[in-house]
C-alpha cells in the first residue's frame, strides 16, 4: 500500500474507527421494515409526518445507544494519535447524526478537527461531504483518501474522485476488489501513511 502522496485522511466512524455495536437488523425490526432496508434512504421516502417521526426516533435512539457503547477498533486510536503527531489533517464523514457523532468523539476523545454528519451534507454515497472536506482543507481529492468499512464508503470515494481504503472485517471481504487499498489492522494504515 503506497500512500506517500496522501496529504489528508477522511474516516468513516461506525465499523471503521469504532465498534458501536449498531444492530441494523434490530433497527429495521423495531421500525417494522424488512431486514437490510437502507435506513436513511427509506426514511427520506416517508411523507407521513407521524411515520417519519416514529422511524426517526427509533433510529436516533439506537444511534445514541451506539455512541454510549462505542469502543475503539484495534489500533485505531494509536493510528489517529500518530497521524496527528505527524501533522496529517484528519476528517470524519459519517451517515450518523451529529448528536451521536459528537457523543462518540467526546467519549473517546477523538483528535479529529473536521467532522461532517448527515445533517451537514447529503448522505453517502453522495460525494458532497468529501468534496466539502477537500475544499475546507484546500487539497485536491487526489491528495486525500477515504477510509471506511462498507460499500457506501467505497462508492462515495469513487463518486468524489478520491481513493478508497477498505478496513477489512469478517463481513466485508467481498467489497475488497472495488477498493483502491485494503488493510486488516490499523497498524498497516499507520505504516503505509508514514512510509
Q: In 10 A of CB 61, how many CB atoms?
A: 13
148 and 175, same domain (yes or no): yes
* One domain, residues 124 and 58: no
Residue 2 lies in a domain: no
Q: Select from 193, 142, 191, 148 the least CA-distant residue to 166.
A: 148
| Total count of domains within the chain | 2
Say whether both 93 and 177 belong to one domain.
yes
Residue 57 lies in a domain: yes
Q: How far apart are CA 4 and CA 68, in angstroms?
A: 36
- Considering the domain architecture, whether residues 44 and 118 belong to the same structural domain is answered as no
Q: Where are the beta strands (DSSP E) in 32-183?
A: 71-72, 90-93, 114-116, 144-148, 163-167, 181-183
| Residue 13's CATH number | 3.40.50.1000
Which of 69, 86, 106 finishes a domain?
Answer: 69
Same domain, 170 and 146: yes
* Strands (DSSP E) found in 28-131: 71-72, 90-93, 114-116
Q: Are residues 75 and 43 in the same domain?
A: no
Q: Under a CB-based contact definition with an 8 Å cutoff, are residues 155 and 165 in contact? A: no
- If asked whether residues 134 and 176 sit together in one domain, one would say yes
Per-residue pLDDT, 3: 81
Distance CA 130, CA 162 (A): 8
Instruction: Indicate whether 1 belongs to any domain.
Output: no
Does the pLDDT at position 2 exceed 80?
no
Query: pLDDT (tens digit, 9 = 90+) per residue, 134-172?
Result: 999 999 999 999 999 999 999 999 999 999 999 999 999
* Domain housing 39: 24-69
User: Quick one: cell of 177?
Assistant: 476488489
Instruction: List all residues 6 or more positions away from 94 whose beta carbon is below 8 Å from its beta carbon.
Output: 12, 13, 14, 101, 115, 116, 117, 118
Let me know whether 84 and 42 are in one domain.
no
Output the average pLDDT for the chain.
Answer: 95
Query: Which pLDDT belongs to residue 1?
Result: 64
DSSP designation for 179 = S
- Regarding whether 109 and 48 lie in a shared domain, the answer is no
pLDDT for position 4: 79
pLDDT in tens, 49-77: 999 999 999 999 999 999 999 999 999 99
Same domain, 131 and 46: no
Peptide bond preceding 125 in cis form (omega within 30 of 0): yes
pLDDT digit string (tens) for 12-32?
A: 999 999 999 889 999 999 999
Confidence class of residue 110 from pLDDT cuts 50, 70 and 90? very high
Inter-residue contact 40 to 119 (CB < 8 Å): no
Q: Is there a single domain that holds both residue 163 and residue 76?
A: yes
Do residues 64 and 79 share a domain? no
Amino acid at each position: 500500500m503506497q500512500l506517500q502522496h496522501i496529504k489528508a485522511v477522511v474516516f468513516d466512524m461506525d465499523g471503521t474507527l469504532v465498534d458501536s455495536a449498531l444492530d441494523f437488523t434490530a433497527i429495521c425490526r423495531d421500525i417494522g421494515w424488512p431486514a437490510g432496508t437502507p435506513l436513511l434512504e427509506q426514511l427520506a421516502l416517508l411523507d407521513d409526518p407521524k411515520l417519519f417521526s416514529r422511524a426517526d426516533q427509533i433510529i436516533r435512539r439506537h444511534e445514541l445507544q451506539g455512541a454510549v457503547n462505542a469502543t475503539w477498533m484495534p489500533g485505531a486510536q494509536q493510528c489517529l494519535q500518530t497521524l496527528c503527531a505527524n501533522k496529517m489533517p484528519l476528517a470524519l464523514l459519517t451517515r450518523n447524526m451529529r448528536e451521536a457523532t459528537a457523543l462518540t468523539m467526546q467519549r473517546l476523545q477523538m483528535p479529529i478537527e473536521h467532522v461532517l454528519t448527515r445533517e451537514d451534507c447529503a448522505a453517502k454515497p453522495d460525494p458532497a461531504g468529501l468534496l466539502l472536506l477537500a475544499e475546507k482543507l484546500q487539497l485536491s481529492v487526489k491528495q486525500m483518501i477515504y477510509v471506511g468499512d462498507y460499500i457506501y464508503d467505497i462508492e462515495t470515494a469513487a463518486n468524489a474522485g478520491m481513493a478508497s481504503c477498505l478496513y477489512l472485517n469478517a463481513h466485508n471481504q467481498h467489497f475488497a476488489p472495488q477498493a483502491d487499498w485494503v488493510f486488516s489492522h490499523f497498524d498497516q494504515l499507520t505504516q503505509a501513511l508514514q512510509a
